[in-house]
């Protein structure tokens, strides 16, 4: 969980006063327990109880429309984004500057872990993800796939300077690498 909190802290340091909107994903679960918020109404999500996959992208667009002067970062997993992928197009159409940070762990890792811990054979927890960078580009937004965790601050800064929607994908495999 320390790695996940470090990523959230990188977002906060890089984009002070940002609004972080979360989907049901590992980063958000960690942030709900151990994250710090530097802004009133700066952290919201539906990742409690059973959560609501797909909530983050449309909620982040709403936050960006409601607070156009604040940077908005949507933390969404690869599985959750597949529930509302079309919202990438909405973000472009509405001229929002949401930064979609896609946490890619190749499926519904929390659900898979839960099943394994209870001796249940995992099924339906590894949907094939699309190429998210290619998908974002198809909607006309810039996209970056991080090669190292240390590249996150630079990618966030570049995305925020564009004042338009952007997607940054971070694969779980580069954490701790």
pLDDT tens digits along 81-135:
999 999 999 999 999 999 999 999 988 888 888 899 999 999 999 888 899 999 9
pLDDT tens digits along 49-59:
667 889 999 99
Give bridge partners of residue 75 from the DSSP assignment.
22, 101
Among 92, 115, 106, 90, residue whose Cα is nearest residue 162: 92
More confident residue, 143 or 4: 143
Token pair of 60, please?
Answer: 């982040």
Least-confidence region, from 90-99, 139-148, 167-176:
167-176
Identify the CATH number of the domain defined by range 2-174: 3.40.50.970
State the pTM of this model: 0.93
**Residue 145 three-state SS:** strand
């Amino acid at each position: 969980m320390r790695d996940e909190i470090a990523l959230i802290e990188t977002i906060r340091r890089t984009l002070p006063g940002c609004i972080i909107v979360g989907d049901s994903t590992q980063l958000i679960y960690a942030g709900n327990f151990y994250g710090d918020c530097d802004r009133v109404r700066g952290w919201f999500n539906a990742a409690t109880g059973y959560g609501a996959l797909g909530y983050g992208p449309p909620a982040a667009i709403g936050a960006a429309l409601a607070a156009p002067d604040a940077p908005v970062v949507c933390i969404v997993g690869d599985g959750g984004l597949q529930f509302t992928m079309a919202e990438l197009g909405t973000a472009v159409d509405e001229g929002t500057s949401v930064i979609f940070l896609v946490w890619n762990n190749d499926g519904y890792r929390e659900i898979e872990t839960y099943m394994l811990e209870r001796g249940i054979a995992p099924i339906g927890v590894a949907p094939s993800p699309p190429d998210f960078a290619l998908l974002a580009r198809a909607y006309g937004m810039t996209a970056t796939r991080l090669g190292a965790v240390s590249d996150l601050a630079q990618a966030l800064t570049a995305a925020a300077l564009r004042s338009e929607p952007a997607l940054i994908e971070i694969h779980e495999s580069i954490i701790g690498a």
